[in-house]
A and B are shown apart, each in its own frame.
Chain A
Amino acid sequence: MYKYFNNIFVAISSILKGMSITWRHMINIRKGNVTLQYPEERWPRPERDIGFDLDSYNVIRSRLHVDIDDCIGCLKCERVCPVQCIKIVTTKAETKGEDLPDIGHTGITSNGTKKALIVSRFDIDMSECCYCNLCVYPCPEECIYMTGGPNSHKHPIDYEFSQYDRNDLIYKFAKDVDDEKISKYVSKKIK
């Protein structure tokens, strides 16, 4: 008999205890809310420092970006890419280091290198990219890099680049010019 009534007492008291817990959580929802309403608000991004040497090695695995005016078309990034997601087409220019304003070609990079090649296509398929950052190291002009992090002064961070169409994930960095226009400036030797 004692067990029977004790059982009822335990049931009632534990129900009240549990219900008071849920009530407290419901009342304090403004303080206790853990949901982040993503497009409107984001968690703060932690500072990136996973490198071996914090000063020199500090990258963020975000979107790849190319400053096409600095690109000399050396194809080093295309060759090093383990998944072949970079496609570059270049043609030899007639004169080295000359600005060609009507096809948007800059003759001299920001490092002072005279460009010998016209980059007519520079596509990076970000749906294939494995974010290994390997293309960044060989670049002699430091024109291909991950956005944000240590490069945020060159390009703001962009890690949310979802698209409705997969083709929109192919980023075309070369100036959008007709091949005929470019062919005017192509070196005569090749022709």
Chain B
Amino acid sequence: MTGPVVAAVLAQAAPLAACVTILVGLRRRHAAAAALAIASVTVSLVATAWLVKAIAVPDTRLLAQADWLPIAGSPALAFGVYLDTLSTTMALVVAAITLCVMVYSVGYMAEDPGFGRYFGFLALFAWAMLGLVLASNLLQLLVFWELVGLASFLLIGFWYERAAPAAAARKAFLMTRAGDVGFLLGILMLIRALGLATIPDVIAAATARLEPGFVSTVAALLLMGVIGKSAQGPLFTWLPDAMEGPTPVSALLHSATMVAAGVFLVARLHGFFMAAPAVMNVLLWLTLVTALATATMAMVANDIKRVLAYSTISQLGYMLMGLAAGSVAAGFFHLTTHAGFKALLFLASGIFIHHAHSNDMREIRKAGPAPRAAVIGLVAGSLALAGVIPFSGYFSKEAVLAALGEHAGPVVVALAYVGVALTAYYTFRMVFLTLRGESAPAAHVEHHTRGAGAMAAPVLVLAALTLVLGWLGGWFTTRLSPLAGHEGPLAFGTGPMAATVLTALGVLLAWVEFGRAGAARIGFAERVPALRSFFGDNWYLDRLYNATVVRLATALSRLARWNEHTVLDGASDGFAAGTVGSGRVLSRLQAGWVQMYLAVLLTLVAALGVWLLWPGGAR
């Protein structure tokens, strides 16, 4: 094995070993569990950083595989690692954010009795996510994809003894699984048609060996998995509910990395998807609508984590729009910067929540001044999310808008700009609701000193990163979209000032409604009851699902129960009753009367004799 392969295997093996060790032996030993998990992810971080240096910096690629499953009539299905700029960079992002979140969790989860289990699950997630990113084969990728889903389920439902997290975990699992059915079907169709599922070979076959119609079908099926995992289109409603999990989990899985797996998949198979332009056009519109719709939902939410969850869906929409428009660099650049600033926002909000013991932004404000690190983190993250120059979100959003301006129609671009203004509005609504307005006196007794440092340090590191990551745009462009050529380190969209002006307008509106002294602290959308309930209720999508899918499923399960109880149980009960009844009838022959047996015997022997001796009879 060459050096990069060893590093890739090491990056996956370390968290796996930590996960097994913690879940088997260290659940009660909290300090040891946390130390082991953090050490293992540090190993992964070093390994992936070295991979970036070895693979991404010189922009080479490396495919190392071994035989896995034999298929009749074609070479065996392989498993291994496929290292290129995209996967190594993503692996580094995953390892870095995971490490930040683990360090933060030492403080955040300090008093939780499930501390050891929590770190075991985080290590499980780290292994699964790194395996997903580095996988060379689509089927192998699907295995890790589902393992990531399992980690998500376990961590959303971490406080399983409460009803809401348990229900949210179930909902997340079922909704993403609904998409994964399509994903699996798509992979199976590919394997059937090509006899392989190795990622570069699949991309090469898309334009060479496969018919356009087949490619479109497979692309649409694969996108179902993407839509479920990345919480887009009709399958996004699980993500706001997933906020029932611990806040560091929301930061890691449900904003920075796991939900970005769908975006990563589209980037990974971009050549394949671009061979189905009609499907990509549908994806473009779907994600555009999702981005705008969830932005409106974020405008009326009062739970700080739900605001962030909606904004995550919206930003994932922007990433996919960039990819659907044809620019891997723009979409993946936005993924990277978003991973940094959204993890930052969640971690900062976690400090607020710890401080105020409430998710409600108004309650957080009333609880009095929060630790300084939280304020710095919230402001820096919000500036990046809203896209204020020179924070990282500005550059990546400009890159996405530039890609849209180049490849999509004017309607799409205009709507994307509307989304930019909405983003700035809801982001600063959150900032002003949390940081301005009436508050308790500052003489608040600080009783959460334990672990405060562990929580503050990752927040400050990520806050610093929001000022750094934005300058990497050129790095992504030259490697991932070498043909685009126009996006330097300072990427500008169709109108360099348009986004900035719209952002400023959004922030200004938020200031007038929420920020200035004596503001009403109620937004324009919240004033209209109809809009408020429409936006606040996920555009009634959950009600629609309850009225259709859930009701259908309930009816089907009722039918199944009737079938079980009446048809199946009835059949076996009837069989048993028939056996007992016929036994009762036949037992009358056992009269205990020897002479009757003799008579019967005689009769039968006589009959046998007649039958055998009858002329021309039996023989």
Q: Do the two chains bind?
A: no
**Chain A residues engaging chain B, CB cutoff 8 angstroms:** none
**Chain B residues engaging chain A, CB cutoff 8 angstroms:** none
